[in-house]
Amino acid sequence: MRNNLQNDPAAHEFSKRLLEIGDGKIQIERTNGLIAIPNNFCTIVQSIDELIECVFPNILQNYINHDWLRERAILTPKNIHINAIHFQIQEKLPGVFTTYKSIDSAMNQDEALNFPVKFLNTLEPTGMPPHCLNLKVGSLIILLQNINPPKLCNSTRLTVKKLLPNLIEATILTSKSKGEVCLIPRIPMIQTDIPFGFKRLQYRVRLSFAMSINKAQGQSLHVCGVNLEESCFSHG
């Protein structure tokens, strides 16, 4: 991930503090092994509502501004927090939800009885969209796999323009094709890195107001919030 700090008077101080943390030069609390973040390092908020408002202020008025939407995101260490953040942000957008449900099936028909459809619907492996994809016009989404490279590649961010029965019409926000309108179809995806194979027919997208820290690799952001409700660091 790249954080744009050009023409920011605090950029030098921010980069200096970041290097000090990485080099282990910040004093560690003996009682818990944690470090204290300096007050001038970032803005610290006390709740998810405050975090959302800091990263997406006045979203009802600003979400139609593609430049504004492109440059911001909330990062979380675990996917478990992402869905709740997405629900809160989408609730602020006008309009009603459109729900797209996937069609799931076991690859080996002999195992179909062991892995019923209801069970497959609950699975959300890495890199695969959810069974229930809830979207609104204006929602920020991200591609999970290549569809039409280099125009539509994995991690390309888009904003929803229209929600059709069998297509999502979206405007590309990142990459060289930003500003172009594209159509995203349902595409079958096969998951093979689990003990059994299954196929999911769904749009290859997820909401992208918030994303995991791992998924943020390669993104360029001007405004970035980090949800650290739970520790995301391990020893070393």
Same domain, 64 and 164: yes
> What is the tens place of the pLDDT at every residue in 132-181?
999 999 999 999 989 988 889 988 999 999 999 999 999 999 888 889 99
More confident residue, 53 or 125: 53
Same domain, 90 and 22: no
Q: What is the pLDDT of residue 9?
A: 67
Domain that holds residue 201: 43-226
Specify the number of domains making up the chain. Answer: 2
Same domain, 114 and 34: no
Same domain, 72 and 86: yes
Same domain, 99 and 144: yes
Is 234 contained in some domain?
no
> What is the tens place of the pLDDT at every residue in 180-216?
999 999 999 988 777 888 899 999 999 999 988 877 8
Is 236 contained in some domain?
no
Same domain, 84 and 178: yes
CA distance 129 to 203: 7
Q: In sequence order, which residues have a C-beta less than 8 Å from that of residue 107 and are 6 or more positions away?
A: 190, 196, 197, 198, 199
Residue pair 212/79 in contact (Cβ under 8 Å)? The answer is yes
pLDDT exceeds cutoff 60 at 1: no
Same domain, 76 and 52: yes
Chain-centroid distance, C-alpha 104 = 23
Same domain, 99 and 213: yes
Same domain, 148 and 166: yes
CA distance 201 to 95: 26
Is 232 contained in some domain?
no
Same domain, 50 and 118: yes
Same domain, 49 and 36: no
Same domain, 73 and 108: yes
